[in-house]
Amino acid sequence: MENNNQTVSQPDNPTVNQANNQTVSPSVNSNFYPTVPYQYIPLSPWAYIGYELLFSIPIIGFICLLIFSFNNSNINRRNFARSYFCILLIVIILAVVMGLLGVSLNSLKK
């Protein structure tokens, strides 16, 4: 059997940028993180919390919710706004149904 050992050449110092001799930390190396268009950049957890707080403001939040759910500038923000809107509709429908059932049950007791 043949031994097919292949060696991979690695740079002497992976933290030195060969083009302009600047020290780069491995977590910022562009080889590990491809460039992503702004439209697909993920939101941070604090952004989700901030949008949650923004959407909970009574009138301004609902207007922002509608704007963000139809806006294409960031796909993740748009999807979060749409999911928040769907949950808001479900909660409103459940509240109306429970309110009607509560009213009808109270009218039966009298």
Confidence of residue 85 (pLDDT cuts 50, 70, 90): very high
User: Would the pTM count as exceeding 0.95?
Assistant: no
Contact 64/77 with Cβ under 8 angstroms? Answer: no
CA 14 vs. chain centroid, Å, equals: 32
Distances (CA, A) of 24 to 16, 34, 46, 59: 6, 16, 27, 47
88 burial level (CB within 10 Å; 0-12, 13-18, 19+): middle
Q: What is the pLDDT of residues 28-72, one digit of tens each?
A: 555 555 788 888 999 999 999 999 999 999 999 999 999 999 999
14 close to 26: Cβ distance less than 8 angstroms = yes
- Quote the CA–CA distance of 54 and 64 in Å, as a whole number: 8
